[in-house]
Amino acid sequence: MKSRDPSRASSVPPRREGEERDWSVVVEDGRAKTNEPVSSAVAEPEATTLRHEPHEPPRQHLPTKLFEKRTKVHNKRIDGPFRRFKWFVMFVTLAVYYGTPWIRWDRGPYAPDQAVLVDLANRRFYMFGIEIWPHEFYYVAGLLIMAALGLFLVTSAVGRAWCGYACPQTVWTDLFQHVDRFVDGDRNARMRLDAAPLGPKKFSKRTFKYTIYLIISFWTGGAWIMYFADAPTLVRDFWAGEAAPTAYITVAILTLTTFTLGGFMREQVCIYMCPWPRIQTAMMDEKSLLVTYKDWRGEPRGSVKKAQKKPGKFGDCIDCLQCVAVCPTGIDIREGPQVGCITCALCIDACDKVMADIGRPRGLIDYATLEDCENEANGEPTRSPWKAIFRPRTIAYFLIWGSVGLAMLFALGVRSHVGLSVSPDRNPPYILMSDGSVRNSYTLKLRNMESRPRQMEIAVEGLPDALMWTDTIGRDDAARSQIKTVPADQVLSVRAYVIAPEGTSTQEFNFRVTSRDEQQESATTETRFDTPGGEQ
């Protein structure tokens, strides 16, 4: 790269005769900058803002790497409070996922008895006592808004807790890593096995491991389709080969994705594929909790022996690399917050254990906010991490989140279980009858959202002297209102004919539908009566 600004080039300090320049150090504005890559753990904060000036001599050139070979993560077993919490969340989320379709819920004879069911064929969504129709899809939109706000809330309060504990990618990766450990042994054994040539022992171990992978993956894919049909029936049909092709294809795809993403891709998904780490980076601030290495306490690193020899020279970090060994994404937390860190806090467990062993206080790696880190480094008082959760931003998120939820609950509570939509015929808009009266035709859709058949009365409101009949009730029985029985949980389409005497002008009127039961629910829809006379 050439210098783009020749005037700046003249500002290079003149070299003295005979002096051999050290090209690994560039001096600009009286400050030395190195050409060697430096870990952020030891780099000065200004390193990120110190820029290489165009006139500066070429820096050391790293070999061009277009593609990076993945280093496989073999995370070590660890026990501690965070690991136990992770076990708990994993158990709960997996139980919810695998178990929910099997919960039964009695809805009477006209509706399915599965507690959570997305009935795509009949266009109904059942969730325990709630039944959602397609026209009420805004509830689903509301749920998605709540989910998004929930993630905002969690992220601004406790950082990437979703990534660390509850994300399906994390949970399944964790599960598969436990399988690795169960079959191949812990970190060192797995690394040895990986390096070993493929012999009968390695082959049988691999086969065994991949079989377990496949079983888990198949189970995961299979559980998914249970949400879309009656689970016990579907299981029977599935094994009898009578389920829909979609079911088999879905299971095959999900088995494959679980097998690949959980068994092999693992942290690559978090680092390269998932957008959420990037979004979260923008949503966290200096008041958000994250897993941090307290470098002012740990640096410089030195073993216990070195520290005994030269007390006071070394920090608390003994460079045992336990935090790296237990990390499920294979990062070094001591390099600072990074996109690969899912804040699962296993390194906290590992470090606390080491600190306890060597008799130093816990929390060299800990949940802390950046603000507290700064205060602590300067020796100022810090706040408890719990207090970091309550601040205006999180409270605001919580209030918005809560009000969306309450608004939805309210709407759900007061929604009507009858509905009426009217579409008047526009071709022709009206029919002149032989006695001079005018007939209009309408297609009415009567909606019965109860899981029992209901009698409903359709009445004409307004439009004096008008009479109506339908496609099943003849003109001889024309009246101001008619009664129809709408099947349980269905929409009944009714052709309605409204006739008004000669001389009626074009005007708006209402159809009203009223359920003929204790609820007496009703719905009104305005529509138009067209006549040759036009409007008055």
- Assess contact for 150 and 412: CB atoms under 8 A: no
- Name residue 341's beta-bridge partners: none
For the chain, give the longest Cα–Cα distance: 120
Using alpha carbons, list the distances in angstroms from residue 184 to 132, 179, 193, 266, 330: 48, 8, 8, 18, 18
Per-position x/- string for 40-79, each x denoting binding to another protein as judged by CB under 8 A, each - no binding: x--x---xxxxxx-----xxxxx-xxxxxxx---------
Write out the binding residues for another protein, residues 331-370 only, by CB under 8 A. Answer: 336
Buried b or exposed e, range 381-415, using 16+ CB within 10 angstroms = ebeeeeebbeeebbeebbeebeebbeebeeeeeee
Other CB atoms within 10 A of residue 160 CB? 28
Of the listed pieces 32-40, 96-104, 371-379, 399-407, which binds another protein according to CB under 8 A? Answer: 32-40
CB-nearer residue toward another protein: 220 or 440? 440
Q: Which is nearest to 372 in space by CA: 286, 449, 306, 302?
A: 286
CB of 497 to another protein, least distance (A): 6
Would you say 378 or 434 has its CB closer to another protein? 434
Using CB under 8 A as the binding rule, whether residue 410 contacts another protein is answered as no
Q: Does 35 bind another protein (CB under 8 A)?
A: yes
- Count of residues touching another protein (by CB under 8 A): 48
Q: Which residue is it, tokens 């494959």?
A: 256
Identity of the residue, 286 or 471, whose beta carbon is nearer to another protein in the bound complex:
471
Q: Which is nearer to another protein, 336 or 453 (CB)?
A: 336
Q: Residues 444 to 503: which contact another protein by CB under 8 A?
A: 471-472, 497, 502
Task: Write phi, then psi, for 33 (nearest 5 degrees).
Answer: -120, 135
**CB contact at 8 A, 513 and 446:** yes
Site string for another protein, 418-437 (x = CB under 8 A): -------xxxx--xxxxxx-
274 forms part of the interface with another protein (CB under 8 A): no
Nearest 5 degrees, angle CA 219-CA 169-CA 289? Answer: 145
Q: Per CB under 8 A, which region of 105-113, 265-273, 298-306, 324-332 contacts another protein?
A: 265-273
385 vs 424, beta carbon nearer another protein: 424
Closest approach, Cβ 48 to another protein, in A, equals 6
- Of 336, 223, 222, 217, nearest to 265 by C-alpha is 217
Please state the closest distance from residue 304 (CB atom) to another protein, in A: 29
For position 39 contacting another protein by CB under 8 A, the verdict is: yes
Q: Does 272 bind another protein (CB under 8 A)?
A: yes
DSSP 408-466: HHHHHHH--SEEEEEEE--SSS-EE-TTS-EEEEEEEEEEE-SSS-EEEEEEEESSTT-
Which segment (38-46, 85-93, 442-450, 481-489) binds another protein by CB under 8 A? 38-46
Q: 14, 37, 199, 275: which one contacts another protein (CB under 8 A)?
A: 37
Give, as one character, the DSSP assignment of residue 45.
G
If one asks whether residue 240 binds another protein (CB under 8 A), the answer comes out as no
User: Binding of another protein at residue 268 (CB under 8 A)?
Assistant: yes
CA 288 to chain centroid, in Å, comes to: 20
- Which residues make up the interface to another protein (CB under 8 A)? 1, 33-35, 37-40, 43, 47-52, 58-62, 64-70, 265, 268, 271-272, 336, 425-428, 431-436, 439, 441, 471-472, 497, 502
